[in-house]
Structure 1
Amino acid sequence: MFESADPKQPFYVANQIAVSEENIKVLTTLFEPLVGIQGVGLYITLTNEFDEVPFAKDYKTLYQLQDQTNLKLEDLFSTLHHLEATGLVKTFLGSNPVLGEVLIFEVEKVPSAGEFFHTFLLSSLLLERVGNVAFNRLVKKFTPRTFVGLKDAKEVTSGFFDVFHLSAESAIDAPVEVKEAAGEVPKDNKSKIKLGNEPVKIDWNFLVDLFASYHIDKGEVLKHQVEIKQIIDFYHLTEQEFVDTALITMSAGSEKLNMYAIQNAVNENFGLNRNKKMVKKQLQQVPKDASRTIKKLSQSDADLLKAVDSKVPTDYLYELKEKKGGYVTANEKKVIFRLQDQMGLTPPLINMIVYACFEYDTVLTANLADRIANDWLQQGITTPAEAIAYLKERKNTRKRQYYRAPKKTVRKTTDWSKYEKQNQTKRKTMSTEERNRIFREFGKNE
């Protein structure tokens, strides 16, 4: 430990440190019990003493530091030693041609609360100084708290590329000026800016190397950079996952990337494991009232239940097609394979889905099978017996539609023949005298 009895000893602060509000909080709550209030004050004072290009006249003396902190020289060094011991300040002894021996202080950045508590010497000393109750209170004070509602909330934050347009070249490979600026400005490894819903960072060199092992050259990969980035970003794939999916679409000897086929393959394969886990969890649920369901089944239902329980899906598919007529297509077999291998449904339940599909259509289609499977799982139906009971219930409650002939509207019109007969008796016949009078009067007014 260095001490000087000369208040005229020159000193200099070698670096500049910005003290944030969070730093002040850590200083005054965690470090203050260790270094004292004088230590906190001395640290803040030193952070304000940096001079980029000091001349001889710019060097201050310990006396000036005493005056600023209101400490005796002995107390000043004692406080300084506390700051050194806790990692907040480093002290160096240098020489100057004009001033001679010079003290140089390097101020360290205030660590975060997490770093403090993970430095066991510091946290153990704090525990001794403040006691268990106050220590636990400090731990809670710096424990991050999250709003409970965030647990089930869906993030709808806009991503960088949702708002801003940046050229593909700059987005993938930063310009030289940007890289040079990053090299000159020091990076704080403790903090990182998260740009909204941040896209996945792609290691293009690694991706190119992976494709190179399958004889896909760098130019072919870079030609589709924008499309590859969009797919990886949207589905949050790793470079290896993207390459593995792309290989599915490639034939032997092919050296080109079919982005349309890759997009379809990613759509098909993305989230398969998650879907399988979801289905498995639902299938493990205990049926609500299995015994009651079984009692409701008729003999034909029991025969159906026996058939779906005893046959593998492909055999059951062929059996149904043989009964109904027609033939089994390749796409129908793909539907069964997908339900079992990719979705994890049990063979008996798949057989019931096949049976239900043929109740609606003549062929087994993926869309109809998915609709039925999702409907059953959402209703908690996980066994063939429950499915049979559910189908019967829906059939019984379905409203019958009767054909009704539309009511014929008859427009009423006047029957003039009847009208004439009815009004014949009402006609009034003119007498001979009346006719003569009309002729006599005719023309007199002209």
Structure 2
Amino acid sequence: MFETADPKQKFFVANSVRLYPDTLQILVRLYQPLVGAMSISLYQTLVYNYSPHMILSDSRGLYYLQEQMDCGLKDIFKSLHKLEAVGLVKTHLVDNEVSSILAFELLKVPSSQEFFSTALLTSLLREKVGQSAFYDLSQYFATKARMHQQPVKKGKDISASFFDVFRLPEDEAITPSVEVQEAAAANQVGKIASAQVNEKTGIDWDYMKDRFRLYHIDPQEIEAKKAEIISLMQLYGINEQEFIDETLPTLHGESQLNLREISRLLSESYKNQNSKQQIQQTVQQNQKMQVSVKLSDEHQAILLEARRKTPAEFLYFLKSQKGGYTTASENKVLNSLINRGLPVEFVNILTYVCLQYDSVLAPNLANKIANDWLQNHVATAEQALAYIEKRPAKIANSRRSRAVTVKRHEQKTDWSKVKAKTDSNIDLNQLDNMFRNLEDSDDSQEK
């Protein structure tokens, strides 16, 4: 894949292709949803820029395409790469005496039958336009293809042959003359191939087909699902054997690939692998941190046992002290913690702390505490024990600060010291009228 920011970079169109109305319809209706309108415009521009009289030394700069399409170089190369991917254009870098020249080889637009026979193109088209529009396009072009021929019952071929009609000298029929051979050679012009998807994935399909054949998967199944397989392998960065290994648990004796289940397994495997690497990096970074707290005698004894025993042995040791027993689900939790890349002694102290809160080792609590420790730079058993010794003091201090409340002292009013306020400006006649109105309202309510 080539790209340059130099508008003076020379380019040359090596050949021409004919664009018929049917060809343009395939370009616009089938290819344009895949590559975009600008890519289709670039393809047509290259077609019309071919000149049979032009030689390499007459090459123009890319700025000529910029002027014709009214866009930047970045957009031109983005469109060109899409055309290369679907096989409509091949780009060659030709070294000239003065500089390198981009030679664009144009390929014919395939028929609708060839397009729909290419699984990668049809899968991408369905993803781009949706199921309903994809069905309509398929039916439209299928109906159009059938209109060019009428189904006729197969009969006996009674056509005349060449020698039934024409006569040639015996020598000429067996060995053509020199003039005929020269004319044939002069007219041997390389055919322009139809566009084909430029996969260049580096995937060894023959190897995959041979390996899957051992598990009764037909090679045609691999061929039909190439697009999905390429997408998954590129998404998760895996090779052929890794894809096969991830696929095996999903087969169950079936002859088809369950791509939905394969995708789910790959996603889980990818997440677990990345999570494990991240945890291991965090642990390595924090293991060097020194512990500033002196451990209690009880915790020193626990630390000694945690360093001696495996997670299963340590769990049994703790349970036997309490009079309980280990369960299969607890061992499953231990396996999960170890598979995440946590050190053995770290897991043992984690088990010890979990059993201080609950009678069994529960996955939710274990993951919650483990996340808390990792986020607080705890990576070893000694650091974990020092952390939990500091933790109660912090909790007690926070609780004590929340328990301190401000006492409010409410002062009572001594009414004997409060003097009544009188308004010297009040009108006595207004007061007399006010009381009379009150008496009248009381009398009316009694009646």
TM-score by length of 1: 0.43
Return the structure number with greater relative CO, CA threshold 8 A, min gap 6. Answer: 2
Q: Which has the larger radius of gyration?
A: 1
